[in-house]
Structure 1
Amino acid sequence: MNIEGAFSVYSTSGIQIARFLFELNQTTSREDIAARFGFHPQWLGSILKLGRDLFGEKRASKQRQEAIAVAEENCLGIEILRVTNAALSKLSKEASISREALRKRLYQWAQGKTVLEAKAEAAAQVVALNNECGKPPQVPAARISRNTDADGMRHLHASLHDDDASAISEKLNSLARHLRRRNPDLTYSHALALALKQSILRHDAAEIPRREGLILLPADGLTHIGDGMLATTDGALIPAKDLAEHLLADLGYAVVYALNKEGIPEPVDLFRTKRYANAKQRIILTADQLTCADPNCHRLANNCEIHHLQAWQFGGETNLKNLVACCSTHNKLNDDNPLRPNNGHYIRMPRTGRAGLQPPSDDAQPRASILPLARKSGRYWACQHFGIAS
């Protein structure tokens, strides 16, 4: 048996797999199909729903056929089709675009993308369309498993609105970092669990600073020459601090972006009109990236570790050009020694200066994140503002 060939079918022939299982389900129950092929019933259920949505008579349309043709032409795998369909099922009937038209658009976008990228893009587009048409928000929900798993653990799951989940995440991650500083032997997931427990069951949890706004300022017509100084076209030098104080009211933090001498947008400095913030570099990197430097990682930059692009032991300096935000998992996987490549190493992308990953193979192209949140980052915004393709 050709194992590689079997995986190739899984990753490139999603339409054929969905059609096969849909047709098989006409004469065979889901339970029997799951038993025959060793599928998890829940996963199989989502594939059979995909089959009904793609091939069922109730939703037959020209747009659906066009979407199927795009998926076949782009050789989309079954997982990309599955996660896209899950997002499409949440699209409001009042949306400005039909489900099948959006399906076609997402299938076109998904060519060459990973499953995580396709899932995030589908969710982002559905959320935007639902907000546009005024779909009522989902009611928050939470549940706790009744029984323990094989490790004797019970599980908690909650679905919350984005702003509430972000606020809770910020508090728990801040407390988790505090706990790890006190006990470096704690894994991050263990510290996060302790933070949750302490926040709910105890009243002496560490005070967490409130979230504050951050403003991105483009230094149009000025060049960053280093040391926080901006050069005008007539040769005058202006401290970036003066520009920020001139443009800002008391609205929180501000990161000034300007093109450097190579024409790459970069953050110049962080300012606040009343006082400077602590951990300036961390705040700048958080705004600059929003997510981990790994192109496939959803973790927020605010909860990441600060990584030296050129390792400290090899002479790397602690300045913004040599720093990116990486989650603890990907920070550990980074190849600090470029002469001994294994997992790849993190870089600044040549034209944009965005944080990205250079795979271990010399022939592989470096990649920066295209996840929806990363496309809202300061650096991505600066590239758009200054007309640099990102």
Structure 2
Amino acid sequence: MNGRQILNLFTTSGVTILRDVYQCSPHDLAGGLMSLNTARKYTRLATVFFGPADSPKVQRDAVTLAEARQLSLEYLEMVNKHAKKLTTRGVAWKLRAELIAFEGTFEEVEAYAKKRVMEEGGDKPKQRGVRLGRVVDGLRTISITDTQRRITDLEKTLDAGIKHDEGQPRSEALLEPFWDLVEGTGTGLIKPEYRTVIAIGLNDFAKVSCGKGKDVVVALSDGTTMTGAEFINAAMEGSLGDKLYVGLFHPTAGPVNLYEARFASGKLRTLAMAENLVCPWPDCNVPADRCQVHHIDAHKHGGHTKPSNLTMLCKYHNGVNNDDPDGQRNKRRPGKPKRGKPNRGRMRRHRGKVRLHTPGGKLVSNSHDLSSMGAMDLI
């Protein structure tokens, strides 16, 4: 049995594993290969699915279906993570059963679970405020929660004060500019001027311009959103600058041209940012304002510097992208271990949109909220 077969057996036996784990103490499970915390996590999950419940029939039916569908431990853990937020008697088990029966990928089921929990009032919205952690090894942590606009403006202010050192982690680089701002020795909070790209479709722009776009929400390349009313207010305050840039996009070919731009390099970057407001690599959340321009077909392999061959990638994913045209890296003879960098896949343009082409041949989009609000999604 090879590694993939072992993994397949493990991921299709969630109920079988929990049924046996229910009879065990976490101290019996824990050992050289499993930590006590992991053992406790599994025994708690087993108690949910096989222990006493406020809806025993729903529980039995849900467990039977989960076993028939060969759901994994990870899947059942995800189901329980969301369902346990509902505290009304019987409601949590009703949702567990609903999620176990739901057809879709793991990510689709999780997105649906979040939506259902919100509908049932189980998830409380985050509260604005400042939170201070306890002292650990002589250090303390401060956490600030506020509107996306205020925090992003703060981030831009701190970014402007960074003394660039390629080897320094970003979190460390932001620390001294933060204290300069707090102590009054910095530049003061930067009022944003939107050279950040604002992606808005022509129809929505017409509504907003006529004062009828209060319900319109547009996405920005700094990772935030704004309403139609905020868009108009920014224009009235002069935050949008004195020049309007209009990008033209083709539904299947992608970016075509940018009008009213002065320099070709800036033009191409702006088009790429308008298309992808965050790095398009799956699960990445780095806004386009902090990304690098990436040639989809590498320049060294004959790729042209034209709108349809460019996208935005964060520094990390720009580095791990496989630029080889055949999608291969580290070719090896059978039985020989791979050396060097692993093949993570490469960005491709498919039906007009930029997606990750995995080594296994799948085309995967970023699921970040702003990934579906760029220019190509507005036409």
Aligned match of 2:52: 57
Structure 1 residue runs of 5 or longer lacking an equivalent are: 220-242, 273-277
SS for the counterpart of 1:336 is: coil
CA contact (8 A) 1:46 1:82 kept: no
SS for the counterpart of 1:295 is: coil
Q: Does 1:99 align with 2:95?
A: no
CA distance in 2, matches of 1:93, 1:199: 46
CA distance in 2, matches of 1:16, 1:358: 35
SS for the counterpart of 1:58 is: coil
Distance change in 2, residues 1:21/1:320 (3 Å): farther
CA distance in 2, matches of 1:269, 1:103: 49
CA contact (8 A) 1:292 1:326 kept: yes
Aligned match of 1:307: 294
Q: Give the % identical residues.
A: 22
CA distance in 2, matches of 1:123, 1:198: 43
Aligned match of 2:353: 354
Distance change in 2, residues 1:325/1:52 (3 Å): farther
Match of 1:333 among 311, 317, 320: 320
Aligned match of 1:191: 173
Q: Does 1:172 align with 2:162?
A: no
Normalising by structure 1, what TM-score?
A: 0.64
Aligned match of 1:156: 141
Q: Does 1:83 align with 2:107?
A: no
Aligned match of 1:129: 119
Look up the equivalent residue of 1:191 and give its one-letter code: A
Report deviation, 1:78. Answer: 1.9
CA contact (8 A) 1:307 1:331 kept: yes
Normalising by structure 2, what TM-score?
A: 0.65
SS for the counterpart of 1:57 is: coil
Distance change in 2, residues 1:345/1:141 (3 Å): same
Distance change in 2, residues 1:287/1:54 (3 Å): farther
SS for the counterpart of 1:264 is: coil
Look up the equivalent residue of 2:279 and give its one-letter code: C
Aligned match of 2:35: 39
Structure-to-structure mapping, 1:1-390, within 5 angstroms: 6-24=6-24, 28=25, 30-35=26-31, 38-41=34-37, 43-91=38-86, 93=88, 98-107=91-100, 111-113=104-106, 117=107, 121=111, 124-125=114-115, 128-129=118-119, 133=121, 137-139=125-127, 142-148=131-137, 154=139, 156=141, 158=143, 160=145, 163-164=147-148, 167-168=150-151, 171-172=154-155, 175-176=158-159, 179=162, 182-200=164-182, 203-205=185-187, 207-210=189-192, 214=198, 216-218=200-202, 248=209, 251=232, 260=250, 263-264=251-252, 266=254, 285-286=272-273, 288-339=275-326, 340-341=328-329, 342-349=343-350, 351=351, 353-361=352-360, 364-369=361-366, 371=367, 373=369, 376-378=372-374, 381-382=377-378
Distance change in 2, residues 1:178/1:320 (3 Å): farther
CA distance in 1, matches of 2:6, 2:258: 52
Structure 2 residue runs of 5 or longer lacking an equivalent are: 211-230, 330-342
SS for the counterpart of 1:357 is: strand
Aligned residues: 329
Q: How big is the alpha-carbon RMSD for the aligned residues of Structure 1 and Structure 2?
A: 4.5
CA distance in 1, matches of 2:87, 2:246: 39
Report deviation, 1:280. Answer: 6.2
Q: Which moved more, 1:197-206 or 1:331-340?
A: 197-206
CA distance in 2, matches of 1:257, 1:92: 49
SS for the counterpart of 1:306 is: strand
Deviations 1:7-46 (A, max 9, x none): 434433233333332332xxx2x445434752251x4444
Deviations 1:119-141 (A, max 9, x none): 962674256426xx597535457
CA contact (8 A) 1:290 1:373 kept: no
CA distance in 2, matches of 1:124, 1:333: 31
CA distance in 1, matches of 2:145, 2:97: 29
Distance change in 2, residues 1:334/1:136 (3 Å): closer
Look up the equivalent residue of 1:336 and give its one-letter code: D
SS for the counterpart of 1:179 is: coil
CA distance in 2, matches of 1:174, 1:121: 34
CA contact (8 A) 1:76 1:111 kept: no
SS for the counterpart of 2:200 is: strand
Report deviation, 1:102. Answer: 3.6
CA contact (8 A) 1:121 1:372 kept: no
CA distance in 1, matches of 2:165, 2:88: 51
Q: Which moved more, 1:51-60 or 1:278-287?
A: 278-287
CA distance in 1, matches of 2:259, 2:60: 53
Report deviation, 1:195. Answer: 5.0
